[in-house]
Amino acid sequence: MPLRVSEVRQRLQGAYGDLQWWPAESAFEVMVGAVLTQNTSWTNVERAIANLRAGDVLDPESLLELPHEILAEHIRPSGYFNVKADRLRHLLRFLEQQGGVEALARMETEALRSALLSVKGVGPETADDIVLYAFERPVFVVDAYTRRLFERLGLPHARGAYDDLRVWVESELGPDAQAFNDLHALIVEHGKQRCRPKPLCQGCPLSDVCPGRVAV
């Protein structure tokens, strides 16, 4: 019988516990972090967020008022800081045009996701980070860790289109935002600790059901 996503979640929970992801103090901070985490580690994002907080500019109005060079310098630890400064500005203008976080929170999930995808520099993964973690909607986030793990486990759509894999996971778990939150956080942790490009399979909670495991 094929491995079920619910079993993957259960096994990873047994190994890593409750990770309480996404670490942020507000929905807006999640939105900023979702842009900053593109192509970098979360540790670097934390440094950039700390810079914004220390500068007392971690709010939409203050960030919009910052000159590009100063914003870029604040977020330098996240890498690609000039590109990300531009992307943050696009997101901030979008937020302003829409009427703020509260207005976005009133949107239906599909409309919210579509609106975010219309913002320059916001792709599916970034949009879904925001939809799931800032607005607690039942949308699963697909990232490189997910694809790597699911491909090694031999699960469907692991190398397919983003939305094919996302919709399949959502159909497996049902419309449960907390389950998607838990699963994504657990996969990221597992990807960092064990399911690396060169995997550490000994002691892995999934090794006995993983066709892609490496013999030791």
Instruction: For the chain, give the percent of residues with pLDDT over 70.
Output: 99
This prediction's pTM: 0.95
What's the CATH code, domain 5-19+140-209?
1.10.1670.10
- State the residue for tokens 């973690």: 133
pLDDT digits (tens, 9 = 90+) for 20-74: 889 999 999 999 999 999 999 999 999 999 999 999 999 999 999 999 999 999 9
Mean pLDDT of 165-183: 96
Q: Is the peptide bond before 42 cis (omega within 30 degrees of 0)?
A: no
CB 53 within 8 Å of CB 93: no
Question: For residue 37, what is the enclosing H or E element?
Answer: none
CATH of 27-134, one of 3.40.109.10, 3.40.50.720, 1.10.340.30, 1.10.3720.10: 1.10.340.30
Cα–Cα distances in Å, from 31 out to 67, 110, 140, 153? 20, 17, 16, 31
- State the residue for tokens 């657990």: 186
The alpha carbon of residue 101 and the mean position of all alpha carbons in its chain are separated, in whole angstroms, by 18
Query: Residue 216's pLDDT is what?
Result: 63
